[in-house]
Structure 1
Amino acid sequence: MEQNARILVVDDEERIRRLLRMYLEREKFIIEEAEDGEQALQLALDNDYDVILLDIMMPGMDGIEVCQRIREKKATPIIMLTAKGEEANRVQGFESGTDDYVVKPFSPREVVFRVKAILRRSSATAFLATPNSSHNVLVFPEVSIDHDAHRVLVSGEEVGLTPKEYELLYYLAKNPDRVFSREDLLKDVWHYEFFGDLRTVDTHIKRLREKLNKISPAAANMIATVWGIGYKLEVPK
């Protein structure tokens, strides 16, 4: 299923695009390239890619703006490539809608690992596909999740979520009122035994709440912070 996935590689440095293409094509992925933000945005909106590898620092339209504008139209999984390892830049990337990040200089094998992880999550639903699961629709006050259709309704209105936002919400909803630490969520939702940044969870929770809140503040408030521990989906009594 991972083979023949279409991946858009966006970087203004040709040597990086060439390196990533070489490693990704070894895995039988179909690779297309863009050398600047404008070209990347046009390709991303005109085509359906399985993953986009997007450099954050480019002349003209940078990766943050490209990601934001893609998110206005599509939920394509995006991995941000950045030479800036500071927390503020990573958080800015997540808040713009990216699903993951890799800090330069990176190991090409790590990039392949992250691409495969995103493909598993978005297509095979990984931890969600359990043999004993017979209920494909979860219904709560204000929120319903149709897992077969990967569709979330809030007060009857559909909410557009990225694959990672959907998985995070569904994971919490499958275990209502159970508290999960950030480490638990990184392991079970992101499948990170390593390479994890706990702020990743916080920024995705924030984006998820914001999207729910636009339709129903009550739905957003169901995602509760348990201070000093983590998060849970709190079902109104």
Structure 2
Amino acid sequence: MYKILIVEDELYMLNLLNIHLGKEYDIITAKDGQIAYEVIQQQSFDLVILDVMLPYISGWDLCRKIREIGDTPILMLTARTDLSDKVKGLELGADDYLVKPFEFEELKARIKALFRRYNHMEIRNSYDDNKIIFLNGSFIIDLQSRQFIINQLLIELTAKEFDLLSLLASNPNHVYTREILLDKIWDLNEVRDVRNVDSHIK
């Protein structure tokens, strides 16, 4: 069963959320940002439902702190309707933003959509000797089929471009000189000019 942390300072709303979601999920509640932050440091959750206007630590700051810890999905639930607030929440790392008042059926649908999205990412991030995967599955190099995929779009690369990208992605934080790249990517019978490296990198 998925475990959800609900951070809400209005007792009435907190009880409603607990009633509507408690049958499907394991619910933990927190009435202010400080309590929520302490709980998050002690337990892991599959989702955080987060109000913005909270005592002690605001929802904005708590969202930022959660993102510093990990990639737990965050659904912001708030009465703030300004577009700038929604943009701010998403920029701070929230995955979704639902404005009060709302229908609980919509909330449930959004929760399920977040779980599907993150489960899909976890599958795509699973270890595979034939794939190099970054950014929660949005950057994939398939070494067997020699395909490069970004955000589920196939990117056409030449053979040398693919070899260069695969080498660099396989060795993050490693610095290569042009001469080393020539030795690793270009055969001895090919034209070996450092300018070839520059043009392919560009």
TM-score bracket for this pair, using the shorter chain length: 0.5 to 0.7
Question: Aligned ranges for residues 149-168 of structure 1 at < 5 Å?
Answer: 152=134, 166=136, 168=138
Partners of 1:53 and 1:94 in 2: how far apart? Answer: 14
Aligned twin of 2:150: 172
Is 1:20 matched with 2:17?
Answer: yes
Partners of 2:131 and 2:122 in 1: how far apart? Answer: 18
Aligned twin of 1:114: 110
Aligned twin of 1:84: 80
Question: Aligned ranges for residues 213-232 of structure 1 at < 5 Å?
Answer: none
Q: Is the 8 A contact 2:75 2:94 kept in 1?
A: yes
- Tell me, what secondary structure is at the counterpart of 1:72? helix
Residues 49-76 of structure 1 show CA distances to partners (whole Å, capped at 9, x for unaligned) of 0000000111221101001111111111
- Cα distance, 1:108 vs. partner? 1.2
How has the CA–CA distance of structure 1 residues 73 and 84 changed in structure 2, closer, same or farther, with 3 Å as cutoff?
A: same
Q: Is the 8 A contact 1:12 1:36 kept in 2?
A: yes
The one-letter amino acid of 1:58's match is: L
The one-letter amino acid of 1:54's match is: L
Identity %, equivalent residues: 34
Q: Which has the higher contact order (CA 8 A, sep 6+)?
A: 1
Residues 125-166 of structure 1 show CA distances to partners (whole Å, capped at 9, x for unaligned) of 4996xxxxx99614xxxxxx1xxxxxx2xxxxxxxx6xxxx2
Q: Is the 8 A contact 2:51 2:78 kept in 1?
A: yes
Aligned twin of 1:191: none
- Cα distance, 1:10 vs. partner? 0.6
Q: Is the 8 A contact 1:56 1:82 kept in 2?
A: yes
The one-letter amino acid of 2:68's match is: E
Question: Aligned ranges for residues 6-155 of structure 1 at < 5 Å?
Answer: 6-26=3-23, 28-125=24-121, 137-138=131-132, 145=133, 152=134
Provide runs of 4+ in structure 1 moved above 3 Å: 124-128, 167-171
The one-letter amino acid of 1:22's match is: I
Provide the aligned length of Structure 1 versus Structure 2.
151
How has the CA–CA distance of structure 1 residues 236 and 108 changed in structure 2, closer, same or farther, with 3 Å as cutoff?
A: farther
Question: Aligned ranges for residues 177-216 of structure 1 at < 5 Å?
Answer: 177=155
Give 1 or 2 for the bigger CA radius of gyration.
2
Aligned Cα RMSD in Å?
A: 2.9
How has the CA–CA distance of structure 1 residues 38 and 126 changed in structure 2, closer, same or farther, with 3 Å as cutoff?
A: closer
- Tell me, what secondary structure is at the counterpart of 2:150? helix
The one-letter amino acid of 1:53's match is: I
Q: Is the 8 A contact 1:10 1:35 kept in 2?
A: yes
Instruction: Output the TM-score relative to the length of structure 1.
Output: 0.56
The one-letter amino acid of 2:91's match is: E
The one-letter amino acid of 2:51's match is: D
Partners of 2:97 and 2:139 in 1: how far apart? Answer: 20
Q: Which runs of 5+ in 1 are unaligned?
A: 129-133, 139-144, 146-151, 153-160, 179-214, 216-234
Q: Is the 8 A contact 2:138 2:152 kept in 1?
A: no
Partners of 2:102 and 2:130 in 1: how far apart? Answer: 39
